[in-house]
């Protein structure tokens, strides 16, 4: 079990103002970010996602967009959950509230995401091939189909967070 007393125990990814996106590593070269030559770039497509999450085709796979608002985001493998930091006095206090928030969450609609393996979480404005040159997280997911559900949680008066939980359904 991870102790959240050490601030370096969790890595956070931030965006420049737009959504974060988790793209399967094998299709990163197909994501053009804000650099697209077409009328609507890949970044524009990500910005059009309404709600807390959405799925977008990328190459022969699908990416998960973490929408709603830009927020520092970490992945907690022990909960298979992305945690989005909307408000909180400290990282330690925010992370300490995650288990209770997961237990009492009012989850939104569930979507299913087919994942071929590891995904890279980064700012959707970056082209996929440059994503590892900036703030990013590599998340070693097992290949398979995942149920994805999301919610906003306010486990304390000064603590607000977003949760995006993944549940492996099968391979």
Least confident of 17-26, 76-85, 127-136: 127-136
Q: Report yes or no on 1 lying in a domain.
A: no
Give the model's confidence band at 110: pLDDT under 50 very low, under 70 low, under 90 confident, else very high.
Answer: very high
Domain that holds residue 122: 12-170
Is pLDDT larger for residue 88 or for residue 55?
55
Query: How many domains is the chain built from?
Result: 1
Residue range 37-66: average pLDDT?
91
Model confidence at 15: pLDDT above 60: yes
Q: Report yes or no on 51 lying in a domain.
A: yes
Least confident of 1-10, 51-60, 91-100: 1-10
CATH classification of the domain holding 148:
2.60.34
Q: What is the DSSP string of 40-77?
A: S-HHHHHHT--SSEEEEEETTEEEEEE-SS--EEEEET
Model confidence at 7: pLDDT above 60: no
């Amino acid at each position: 079990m991870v102790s959240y007393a050490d601030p370096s125990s969790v890595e956070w990814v931030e965006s420049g103002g737009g959504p974060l996106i988790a793209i399967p590593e094998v299709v990163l070269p197909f994501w053009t970010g804000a650099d697209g030559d077409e009328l609507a770039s890949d970044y524009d497509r990500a910005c059009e996602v309404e709600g807390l999450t959405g799925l977008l085709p990328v190459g022969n796979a699908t990416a998960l967009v973490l929408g709603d608002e830009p927020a520092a985001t970490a992945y907690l493998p022990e909960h298979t959950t992305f945690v989005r930091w909307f408000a909180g006095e400290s990282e330690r206090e925010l992370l300490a509230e995650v288990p209770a928030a997961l237990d009492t969450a009012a989850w939104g609609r569930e979507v299913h995401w087919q994942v071929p393996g590891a995904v890279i979480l980064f700012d959707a404005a970056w082209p996929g091939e440059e994503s590892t040159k900036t703030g990013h997280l590599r998340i070693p997911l097992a290949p398979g189909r995942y149920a994805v559900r999301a919610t906003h949680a306010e486990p304390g008066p000064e603590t607000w967070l977003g949760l995006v939980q993944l549940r492996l359904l099968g391979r």
